[in-house]
Chain A
Amino acid sequence: MKIVVCVSHVPDSAAKINIGADEKNIDKNGVSFILNPYDEFALEEALKIKDSIGADVVLVSVGGDEVKETIRKGLAMGADSGILLKTNAYRDSISTAKLIAEEIKLQGANLVFLGKQSIDGDNGVVGQLVAEILGFNSVSVAVSFNLNGDKIVAEREIEGGREVVETSLPAVITAQKGLNDPRYASLKGIMAAKKKVIDEKEVTVSEIGVELIKLKKPAQKQAGKILGKDSSAVPELVRLLKEEAKVI
């Protein structure tokens, strides 16, 4: 069985982000990049299947040369091989999904895992778009996953609870935090990854539906206001909470 796991190379969530001079990219200076945390859950789920019934786990990522670092991390965690769909061009979700779907077809995989969203662009739709293009079943925001033959029982997180759903292969699953506990890339994995192949394929991005105009920083937080130090300030506080902040 072949499983494709899509991984993206994103700025560390702890990094302080500045906007680059072109206003369309972030300033990558001094920012460290990581394997998108939701993709770690996706990969772990694929590796669990590999551990229990055996599977060929192939990583697919779209981006420039720097993405290889993230693919190597996935290989060190235990994936078997990696494919870099190489392009430095700007992509929206649909153009990314098209590239990935094309590769999944070539791979002949019928189970695909992705993170529920990538923490850089935060669009959160690539998984469903890929499913749509390929005509696969789709389960998004999965917090539990069970494969039995070609039957899938999964649980999805919804507001205030969980939904239990059933579907079958071929399927695209997007992973939510809580799906599993991703393993560490052990040093043994890193050494083994050295012998695994990252296949680089030059790709061209088709037409873009959504164009990025510019990046903006969130508005500066306003400084706090001190209304007074004793109970005489309470009426004014209540008024502001009601009329200005509108929280009560």
Chain B
Amino acid sequence: MDFNLTDQQNDIRKTVRDFAENEVKPLAKQLDESEQFSPELTKKMGELGLFGMYLPEEYGGLGTDTISYIIAVEELARVDGSHAATLAAHNSLGIGPLYYFGTKAQKEKYLPQLTTGDKLWAFGLTEPNAGSDSRGTKTNAVLENGNWIINGSKIFITNGSTDFSLGATVQAITGMNGDRKEYSTIIVENGTPGFKTVTMHKKMMWRASITSELYFDDCKVPEENLLGAVGQGSKIMLSTLDNGRLSIAAMGLGLAQGAYEMALEHAKTRQQFGKPIIKFQTIAFKLADMALKIELGRNLLYKACWLKDSKKQFAKEAAMAKLYCSEIAKEVADEAVQIHGGYGLMKEYDIERFYRDQRLLQIGEGTSEIQRLVISRHIGA
């Protein structure tokens, strides 16, 4: 067993940390407060090489392994959830299915534009009546004269309506197989007639990340926009979510790390009863528990990444890492607020934003309950 990261993985962490500290952190609070997506920071993340970093060079990627990518998400999440969300959704949910299931022509058409920081891609699975249960999907697509005609809507879609959005991968019912619905995934470019995107406002968290509703009204796209084969939709979506879980876990881990560091710093400097509060064992023990949870989360997540990079089954560990890292993000952020006392409740302190941002992580890309369902199936329960 070797727990060492490679020089390259360490260098990537250092570089992304510098970027996060110098470019993202100074703007994060203000962007959250004004509920603003930053085109400038998005462009800079692309220029740094964060978009599509695990793709091969021919598509503009860097050919990194999964751990390097996960470290990048972790480091962004350590300073801000919204920007980690923009990155993770674009990479895992946007680029992922195009790369793993696209034809050569589809990959050549889209991927090079998605790695520069100029364009984003979204993943449209969730619908108003189909959240945890994607079989509730109502959006449908009918093949007519060489075109798919799509009708329906999607909700809560990250990166769907930014000025950078190039398109979305959309799950739709394309027919019936006996009495079973047949799902397929279809590529829809923004700007296609009949395709409308609307930005959702007033989120509690990830306020600088764009969440969108997608509407399809007799939206017509060419037959070759089918991603994968007809009827392969569920498989594509589920495999995409397996990968996505690693990046949500990284967001939980990074957020927990950031919250822990803030709590540690505050506990060392805040004096009550004549000494730094870290000298009280109750506070020191809280910090010890935080450090323990973060260590466990990191080991679990990196192991899941290692399994994926070693071409082994990783779906169970990905679900475990997603569940565990998102839940410890909640626990660590909560205790970090506690250590901050009254100050932790004020927007002036970053921990206030972390406390809100963690809340999505137990819901998005499969709720904690659904992760337990996934894990229980994997262990034969």
- A76 CB, min distance to chain B CBs, angstroms: 6
Query: With A186-B49, A188-B62 in contact, is A73–B11 under 8 Å at CB?
Result: yes
Of B12-20, B124-132, B235-243, which binds chain A?
Answer: B12-20
Say whether B8 contacts A190, CB under 8 Å: yes
Say whether A187 contacts B7, CB under 8 Å: no
Query: With A191-B62, A191-B63, A191-B64 in contact, is A186–B48 under 8 Å at CB?
Result: yes
Query: With A73-B11, A194-B8 in contact, is A187–B64 under 8 Å at CB?
Result: yes
- B380 CB, min distance to chain A CBs, angstroms: 41
Q: Does B50 contact A (CB under 8 A)?
A: yes
Residues in B with CB closer than 8 Å to A191 are 8, 49, 62-64
- A202 CB, min distance to chain B CBs, angstroms: 21
- B41 CB, min distance to chain A CBs, angstroms: 14
Question: Does more than half of chain B's interface fall in helix, strand or loop, or is it mixed?
Answer: helix
Say whether A184 contacts B8, CB under 8 Å: no
Say whether A184 contacts B12, CB under 8 Å: no
Name the contact of A184 in the complex, choosing from B11, B19, B64, B72 (C-beta under 8 A).
Answer: B19
Residues in A with CB closer than 8 Å to B62 are 187-188, 191
Say whether A187 contacts B18, CB under 8 Å: no
Q: Does B53 contact A (CB under 8 A)?
A: yes
Q: Does B47 contact A (CB under 8 A)?
A: yes
Complex: chain A residue closest to B10, CB-CB: A69
Q: Which residues of A74-133 have CB atoms within 8 Å of chain B's CB atoms?
A: 76
Q: Does A72 contact B (CB under 8 A)?
A: yes
Complex CA distance for A115 and B264, rounded to whole angstroms: 36
Q: A186, A190, A193: which has the most chain B beta carbons within 10 Å? A: A190
Complex CA distance for A68 and B11, rounded to whole angstroms: 11
Q: Which residues of B1-55 have CB atoms within 8 Å of chain A's CB atoms?
A: 7-8, 10-12, 14-16, 18-19, 47-50, 53
Interface extent on B, as a size class?
Answer: 10 to 19
Residues in B with CB closer than 8 Å to A185 are 11, 15
Residues in B with CB closer than 8 Å to A186 are 15, 47-49
A34-45 vs B, CB cutoff 8 Å, 1 = contact: the mask equals 000000000000
Name the contact of A76 in the complex, choosing from B15, B19, B47, B63 (C-beta under 8 A).
Answer: B15
Residues in A with CB closer than 8 Å to B63 are 191
Complex: chain B residue closest to A187, CB-CB: B49
Complex CA distance for A73 and B50, rounded to whole angstroms: 17
Name the contact of B18 in the complex, choosing from A72, A184, A188 (C-beta under 8 A).
Answer: A184
Complex CA distance for A194 and B64, rounded to whole angstroms: 11
Q: Which residues of B38-86 have CB atoms within 8 Å of chain A's CB atoms?
A: 47-50, 53, 62-64, 72
Say whether B48 contacts A184, CB under 8 Å: yes
Residues in A with CB closer than 8 Å to B16 are 187
Q: B19, B47, B62: which has the most chain A beta carbons within 10 Å? A: B62
Residues in A with CB closer than 8 Å to B64 are 187, 191
Residues in A with CB closer than 8 Å to B18 are 184
Q: A68, A69, A186: which has the most chain B beta carbons within 10 Å? A: A186
- B56 CB, min distance to chain A CBs, angstroms: 11
Complex CA distance for A76 and B10, rounded to whole angstroms: 13
Report 20 cross-chain contacts, Cβ distance below 8 Å, ordered by A residue.
Answer: A69-B7, A72-B11, A73-B14, A76-B15, A184-B15, A184-B48, A185-B11, A185-B15, A186-B49, A187-B16, A187-B48, A188-B49, A190-B8, A190-B11, A190-B12, A191-B8, A191-B63, A191-B64, A193-B11, A194-B8
A-B CB proximity, top 9 nearest: A187-B49, A191-B62, A188-B49, A190-B11, A186-B49, A185-B15, A187-B62, A186-B48, A194-B8
